[in-house]
Amino acid sequence: MTIAMILKNRAILFIVGKTWIYLHDHNSIEPTVAEFGCCGHQEFLEHVSHRMLPGEAELSSMPKTILVVGLTCIDIINYMDKYPIEDSDNRVTKQIWSIGGNAANNVTVLNQLNSNTVLFSALPVDNPIVYQLLKKNAISPNRCVFRKNCEMPLSTIIVNESSSTRTILHYR
């Protein structure tokens, strides 16, 4: 499901699944607000309108920016020759740690397309690995919400190289 809202300053906020994408400087249609009734999103909209949306004068001189809102997590990808049998000891042939989650993945791809993107996600205050992985992908955490005593969501991915399949175990 995709929902698009046109805000007062002619900005557009797209909701694609659980990911929010905010575009400003859209002038092709009149500013209106699409019907939007999902509970829990009002707090987000108030935060965006008070903290992140520029005024009309600022908007005309700014480049287009995409704000991507949603989950950021750490992906630990384990490559194996075959899928492990239950209650067995197996060797991983290769392991990669990367930033993941719908929002962070979207920002990574949009950055590769030379888009001006901003990540808006909940992150733990003290987790240097998260910040190293964000930096590696050229993602700035400046607009993120930082939470104390918050665990970072984690996905462990098992890649079976013989069948080219993957299994994802997600902890949140």
Q: What is the pLDDT along the chain (172 residues), one digit of tens a residue?
A: 344 444 545 555 555 555 555 555 444 333 223 333 333 455 555 555 554 555 555 555 556 778 898 999 999 999 999 999 999 999 999 999 999 999 999 999 988 888 888 899 999 988 899 999 999 999 999 889 888 888 899 999 999 999 999 999 999 8
> Do residues 158 and 78 both lie within one domain?
yes
From 41, 64, 87, the end of a domain falls on 64
Helix, strand, coil share (%) of the chain residues, nearest 5: 20, 35, 45
> Do residues 31 and 58 both lie within one domain?
yes
Domain limits at 127?
Answer: 69-171
Count helices and strands (H / E) in the chain: 4, 11
Q: Which two tokens stand for residue 164?
A: 């080219």
> Do residues 104 and 75 both lie within one domain?
yes
- What is the pLDDT at residue 38? 37
> Do residues 85 and 145 both lie within one domain?
yes
> Do residues 128 and 142 both lie within one domain?
yes
- Report CA dihedral (110, 112, 113, 116) to the nearest 10 degrees: 60
> Do residues 46 and 94 both lie within one domain?
no
